[in-house]
């Protein structure tokens, strides 16, 4: 992509976002010098961002990593977590995931899930059950090696909980 094509690409994104002429020039400069896109495309935004809110205030839809409102079921406490759309649009992993979904013919609104957390006691029970299964060996945990471990040498696990 030439610099002219890059400038045209950013100008189109600025037009979609109603930027002033001064903002557009700044955004093009930032994109050319820092390779940072200050706007996400409308299609990416539609795929990334939540689509609305559940009656309890939790975000619904969008990508699971998007910035969204999470609500604790038992208390109604709300917190916002996640990655904003501009950061995601500048992240190769998420852009590739977006293109993969589009190439696969899937609808950009590929899921409509609600970000309400499970009750705290239920979450603690799940963690407790996982820890018990790990101790039983259902999920084997690999041995931890010290940073000074050398292949062929008997490891000293006394500092990492070993026997």
| pLDDT tens digits, 33-59 | 888 888 888 889 888 888 888 888 888
- Residue 13, pLDDT above cutoff 80: yes
**Which tops the pLDDT comparison, 134 or 91?**
91
- Residue 66, pLDDT above cutoff 70: yes
Determine the 3-state secondary structure of 71 from DSSP. strand
Reported as a single tens digit per residue, the pLDDT across 78-122 is 888 888 888 899 888 888 888 888 887 665 555 566 666 666 677
DSSP 8-state class, residue 73: T
Determine the 3-state secondary structure of 116 from DSSP. strand
State the chain's mean pLDDT as an integer: 77
Please give the backbone phi and psi of residue 81, each rounded to the nearest 5 degrees, phi first. -135, 160
**pLDDT-based confidence at residue 138 (cuts at 50, 70, 90):** low
Joined together, the tokens standing for residue 79 give 């917190």
Class of residue 113 by CB neighbours under 10 A (exposed 0-12, middle 13-18, buried 19+): middle
Q: Scanning the structure block, which residue is given the tokens 């998420």?
A: 94
Q: What angle do CA 80, 81, 82 make, to 5 degrees?
A: 135
Listed range (67-71, 75-79, 126-130) with the worst mean pLDDT: 126-130
**pLDDT-based confidence at residue 137 (cuts at 50, 70, 90):** low
- Residues near 127 by beta carbon (within 8 Å), at least 6 away in sequence: none
């Amino acid at each position: 992509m030439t610099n002219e094509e890059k400038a045209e690409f950013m100008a189109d994104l600025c037009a979609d976002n109603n930027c002033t002429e001064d903002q557009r020039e700044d955004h093009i400069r930032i994109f050319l010098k820092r390779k940072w896109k200050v706007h996400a495309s409308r299609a990416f935004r539609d795929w990334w961002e939540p689509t609305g809110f559940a009656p309890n205030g939790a975000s619904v839809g969008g990508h699971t990593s998007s910035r969204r409102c999470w609500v604790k079921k038992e208390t109604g406490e709300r917190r916002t977590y996640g990655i904003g759309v501009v950061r995601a649009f500048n992240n190769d992993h998420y852009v590739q995931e977006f293109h993969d979904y589009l190439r696969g013919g899937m609808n950009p609104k590929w899921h409509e899930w609600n970000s309400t957390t499970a009750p705290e006691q239920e979450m603690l029970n799940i963690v407790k059950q996982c820890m018990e299964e790990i101790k039983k060996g259902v999920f084997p945990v690999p041995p931890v090696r010290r940073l000074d471990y050398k292949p062929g040498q008997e490891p000293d696990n006394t500092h990492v909980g070993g026997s």
